Amino acid sequence: MGNWTVRLKKGGITLVAAFVLMTTFAGPQSWHVYAAEINADIPQVIEKASPSVVAIIGKPSSEVDKTLEKNRFNLAHGTGVIVASNGVIVTNAHVVKDMKNIVVVTSEGTTYRGHASNIDEESDLALVKIDAVGLQPATFASSSDIKVGETVAAIGTPISFALRNSVTVGIVSGLDRSVSSQYQLIQTDAAINPGNSGGALINMKGEVIGINTMKYADIGIENLGFAIPVDTVKYVLKHFELYGKVKRAYTGLELEESWEAVVGLPSMAGLRVDYVDADSPAAEAGIEQDEVVVSIGSDSVQTLVDYNEAIKKYLPGQTVDIKLQSGSATLTKSVKLGELHNTEATLTEDADGSSLDADSGKTKIGDSHFGWSMKYPAGLVKRQQSDDGDSISFVDAKGEFALSIRIASDQSDELSPAALLTTIAGEDDSDYSSYGNSATVLERQYVKRAEYPYAKVVSRSGEDGYIQTRGYLHGGRLYTVQLFVTKEQYTNRSKQNSYNDLLDSFKLAFNTGDNSLKDISVFNSDDVTYTSEYGLSIDLPAAWEQDYHGSTSFYNDEYSQSLEIHVTSASSGDTLQNWVDREVDMFEAQYTADYRRVDKPVEATVDGVPAWQVDFASSLGDEWFAGRSLFFIKDKYKYEVRMTYPKDEQDDELEKMWDNVVASITVDKETMDGELGFIQDLNELADPDRTALYKNEKFNYTLRIPENWTTNRSYDGNDQATKSFSFPGGYLRVEADNKSVYTEVVKDAEEELKKSHTSDSDYSYSAEDVTLFGDVKAKKYKVSYSKAHIPYTETIYLFNRKQVTYTVTLRTDVAVSTAANVARLNKAFDSFAFVNGTESGK
């Protein structure tokens, strides 16, 4: 006998089976009969199951880009399975979690409004409810009856909503799969595509054996889909019915899989206890780190999926025996289970209006701020819009044309027709002109329309592109409207008439009382609210922007004013006064008295808690920068909101803005990132005098440098010839030269100093011979430049050791030449030591 594989392809359905060839050759004959029966049964099976499968469509919700919700063509869809005749439908959590305006369509085409009633992201299952009666619920199989190799069919809504209740057929490829899920999954080669999520995987009895959830989509990967097994579906549905959510047992264990389990090899190693939460059920039961979990109740566990499958059999409050391996001993410990409190998914509310079409009833489109409007064809899709709305582009849903509108301000209305035509001719250097290397003008004219005259240029770009550009002058603005079509569309007379009709509808007016007119203006002069992961919300002027997405730094449009938010944890025993005193002391320690100012803290109230406001200013000798910080403590976190700006920009308008910012601040503990822990305030631990050893092995010296100084090296990471150690307003720099003659280096340095003094008498210096490190002869130069853009002083040392010339520069701006800064700088230099010598200045 031998193993054979037969592939039968009928009607686009491929059936694959492995069988044993018997000496009587009865096997193949039986297989053909069986395959024919299966093919004959499939239509009846689908006919039985399909009424229980529905298509789900809705509008995706986005906290990042709210414009997505307003795009009538931006829709999301999936599939669901009816589980109760009164309109209860199970689907994937990822299908409906962020879906608004849900619409459910049954297999015969009846449409219902729906809403997500329950969501469980851990299992990726959810319920959708529609107002209906007499629906046909699906019949669920038993997981124990599912066999690898049995024929199955997937029913769903792949790719497009127009393809709802599509059927693909395959086999069960595997059971107990662990792929991006807490629980086991069914593997199938039945085609599962985007939109199939939430649909039914059925057996040849028409019973649901799983809910389709995902597929592998990568180059070279085919027919690799997965479904949530029916027993997990039943488990979740039961919890939804009894508790409104899935109640999961909590042990307090963090477990680690063996290497074999991670890579998919069979493993009998169990799960190592990586961590035990304090005061958790596991801790109370005496389970300790590094013990190995062997079984949960009667279920042995080797993987995290095994563990989750076993623990889901128990409810919070129940007691379970956990067998563990501790060294050579086997232990059993009884754990009274707690409840796992995962962050529950927030059910998405419907968008404004109940229609799936966000633009229902809108036949015109325009911008109320820039004052234009035009017809709104059903297929017009907004592609891109600038932040202020002065540039916007559209495409046709069928890909037949593209349209752009650009508004340029500060344009004279007295521009002549010839000048206007010349101006808009340059607009052919647009995104669309890339379709050809040069544009051939086909038409150019000034159209004298009574209400809205315009300049018009039609050109051919390359072989396939045609561009019509229209320019309008109105109210000191140039409105440029540009249409791009392909040659096929341009030469179609009826199409060309429809495009011209669209362009002719463009008006330099916006009727706010017209309910059929959709306003796409994004211009905003009001404050914008920003919310951070730390629960803090704050309003800033619309013109201000975040430094980058997720940053807590903000800038005005000229980047001259900034606002930063700093959040740290309040240490035990710390107070608002102690915190503010530390910050003021640190600021004053950075600058000498003539170059800083700190006002006395002013008491305030922020979101119901005490706060202190501190005004400050500083300068390095040229421009003064001012600012103010607001300090407050709430919900165990310390918040500092700091605004800085050039001192000469401080005026009543800035004061008003600051007052509005402070009044807007709120802290909501519920919106904090659930994973936030203790955030150490580094200023509490900072020691400006603590040093770390730097060793330059190439040039044989060491230094002890304050650890809060920054280190800069030359562009070549392997070149240690130049090394700088910086702090705000100063640095220590070491330049090592093993190629030049020491006397020549000294000569060049002195010539440079003399040259600087000759060109500017405010640049002064002195020179002397000194001995360093006990026996090293050196040159010492002291430089002072009091009239510089930023006044500074320098001490420069030149010395030679074993054919290496060292130039060490100690520089401080006068503004930061505090006794402490100067002492640290000198101490760092005094620590200079040769590697084969004795370190000094420890």
Residue 43 maps to a domain: no
One domain for residues 738 and 811: yes
Q: Tokens for 342?
A: 């995962």
One domain for residues 716 and 673: no
Task: CATH number of the domain at 675, please.
Answer: 3.40.1000.10
One domain for residues 597 and 700: no
- Out of 190, 207, 232, pick the residue that ends a domain: 232
- Out of 684, 717, 738, pick the residue that ends a domain: 684
One domain for residues 497 and 534: no
Q: Is the pLDDT of residue 70 over 70?
A: no
Per-residue burial over 706-728, b = 16 or more CB atoms within 10 Å of its CB, e = otherwise? beebeeeeeeeeeebbbbbbebe
Total domains, the chain:
5
Cα–Cα distance measured from residue 563 to residue 628, given in angstroms and rounded to the nearest whole number: 10
Residue 357 maps to a domain: no
Quickly state the pLDDT bin for 225 (edges 50, 70, 90): confident
Cα–Cα distance measured from residue 637 to residue 681, given in angstroms and rounded to the nearest whole number: 10
Residue 109 maps to a domain: yes
Helix (H) or strand (E) holding 30: helix 26-49
Q: Which residue has the higher pLDDT, 216 or 737?
A: 737
One domain for residues 508 and 546: no
Quickly state the pLDDT bin for 264 (edges 50, 70, 90): low
Residue 27 maps to a domain: no
Residue 20 maps to a domain: no
Task: CATH number of the domain at 76, please.
Answer: 2.40.10.120
User: What does the pLDDT read at residue 568?
Assistant: 94
One domain for residues 257 and 226: no
Residue 21 maps to a domain: no
Range of the domain at 305: 249-339
Q: Which residue has the higher pLDDT, 22 or 735?
A: 735
Q: Is the pLDDT of residue 793 over 80?
A: yes
Quickly state the pLDDT bin for 269 (edges 50, 70, 90): confident
Q: Kindly report which listed range (256-270, 560-574, 816-830) carries the lowest average pLDDT score.
A: 256-270
> pLDDT tens for residues 125-152?
999 999 999 999 999 998 788 888 888 8
Residue 446 maps to a domain: yes
User: What does the pLDDT read at residue 394?
Assistant: 92
Cα–Cα distance measured from residue 694 to residue 705, given in angstroms and rounded to the nearest whole number: 7
Q: Kindly report which listed range (108-112, 154-158, 404-408, 619-623) carries the lowest average pLDDT score.
A: 154-158
Cα–Cα distance measured from residue 381 to residue 398, given in angstroms and rounded to the nearest whole number: 10
Cα–Cα distance measured from residue 422 to residue 457, given in angstroms and rounded to the nearest whole number: 9
Residue 809 maps to a domain: yes
One domain for residues 596 and 488: no
Q: Is the pLDDT of residue 718 over 60?
A: no
One domain for residues 587 and 665: yes
Q: Is the pLDDT of residue 259 over 60?
A: yes
One domain for residues 223 and 263: no
Do 165 and 53 contact (CB within 8 A), yes or no?
yes
Q: Is the pLDDT of residue 25 over 60?
A: no
One domain for residues 599 and 649: yes
- Out of 170, 202, 232, pick the residue that ends a domain: 232
Task: CATH number of the domain at 286, please.
Answer: 2.30.42.10
User: What does the pLDDT read at residue 16?
Assistant: 31
Q: Is the pLDDT of residue 815 over 90?
A: yes
Residues that are catalytic: 94, 124, 197
Q: Of 95, 163, 165, which is closest to residue 127 (Cα–Cα)?
A: 95
One domain for residues 594 and 502: no
Q: Of 317, 282, 144, which is closest to residue 271 (Cα–Cα)?
A: 282
| Beta strands across the sheet bearing 804-813 | 710-713, 722-727, 730-737, 804-813, 792-801, 776-785, 763-772
One domain for residues 512 and 535: no
